[in-house]
Homo-oligomer: A and B are copies of this chain.
Amino acid sequence: MAGRRYDPERRQRIIDAAIRVVGRSGIAGLTHRSVAQEADVPLGSTTYHFKTLDELMVAALRQANEGFAKVIASRGGLEDPRTDLAAELAALTGEWLGGERTGVELEYELYLAALRRPALRPVAAEWCEDVAAVLSRRTDPVTARALVALMDGICLQVLLTGTPYDEEYAREVLGRLLPGEGGPGAGA
């Protein structure tokens, strides 16, 4: 039982390498070989731990999601009812986009890959739901989902058109989605 030469670190390193590869060369560049080289493990090791590339992508996307979740978690203000939710969201998005474009591209590429790869869809859906769930503590579920959608759309436009991120604008339009602007009542 899990004795022998069992090496869980190896698996993790492969996932990390996969993420790095996708970040650098995109999904198109994600192959068993490129990952093996990046992780500095033999080719057979990648095929052993992940029989298909889909499996590897699922693991990578899941891990990327956790990375984003941490960004959210590190922003305690998101759960504080006294903060301006739209402003918090806009700032968080800015922080995320402003960091390394590579990281954002990577997560989005993995996320968007779900369009064609059904295996990824549950993970993508999970991400949506997780973020919406966090937001639901500050507003109703419908609004939360819309907030997520709008954030997605804004990020997409930034990424796809090269337009710089405008936090002011994001805060403004995000705020419009909120039902009662500044209206409490969602206490408890």
Q: Which residue of B lies closest to A179 (CB)?
A: B176
Assess whether A91 is interfacial by the CB under 8 Å rule.
no
Copies of this chain per assembly: 2
Assess whether A148 is interfacial by the CB under 8 Å rule.
yes
Assess whether A177 is interfacial by the CB under 8 Å rule.
yes
Q: Are B28's CB and A159's CB within 8 A?
A: no
A138 to chain B, nearest CB (A): 16
Assess whether A142 is interfacial by the CB under 8 Å rule.
yes
Assess whether A153 is interfacial by the CB under 8 Å rule.
yes
Mostly, the A contact residues are: helix
Chain B residues lying within 8 Å of A159, measured Cβ to Cβ, are 115
Stretch of A12-20, A72-80, A105-113 contacting B (4+ beta carbons < 8 Å): A105-113
CA distance A172 to B157 in the complex (A): 22
Stretch of A2-10, A39-47, A62-70, A121-129 contacting B (4+ beta carbons < 8 Å): A121-129
Residues of A at the B interface (CB closer than 8 Å) are: 26, 28, 105, 108-109, 111-112, 114-116, 121, 124-125, 128, 142-143, 145-146, 148-154, 156-157, 159-163, 169, 172-173, 176-177, 179
Known: A121-B160, A142-B173. 8 other contacts (CB 8 A): A105-B115, A105-B116, A128-B157, A149-B150, A149-B157, A153-B153, A173-B177, A176-B176
